[in-house]
Amino acid sequence: MPLYFGMFFASMAAAMLTGNRVVFAAHWSALAFCLKNLKKIHQQRTLIETIRKVSDRAIFAKVMKTPRLDYFWKTFGGKLGEYVDDPLSVSAARRD
């Protein structure tokens, strides 16, 4: 999360410094929406976590790792649809 917010605010600052009002306004609007609806967002997030069979930790461990070289070859070759990743182990990642 800290990296996301760092990138978000850096992009927002860059838009402000370069005078790109449309991008700055979009960032400001997104930030205001999130702050205004923080309670609702948290409630929805909690609901999703209770329904899902795989924990956040297991999902992030899977998606945050560096993909195999094959992923990049297929991405740059326009054949990403052919890429198959290792399956996520649901039994090992079940929530308690």
Write out pLDDT tens, residues 8-66: 889 999 999 999 999 999 999 999 998 999 999 999 988 988 888 877 778 777 777 66
Higher pLDDT, 69 or 21: 21
Report pLDDT for 74.
79
C-alpha to C-alpha distance for 32 and 9, rounded to whole angstroms: 13
Please indicate, yes or no, whether the overall pTM of this predicted structure exceeds 0.75: no
Q: Find the Cα–Cα–Cα–Cα dihedral 5, 87, 56, 70, rounded to 10°.
A: -10
Report pLDDT for 96.
44
Contacts of residue 11, defined as CB under 8 A and 6 or more positions apart, other chains included, come to 23, 27
Give 3-state DSSP helix, strand, coil % of the chain, rounded to 5: 70, 0, 30
Report pLDDT for 84.
78
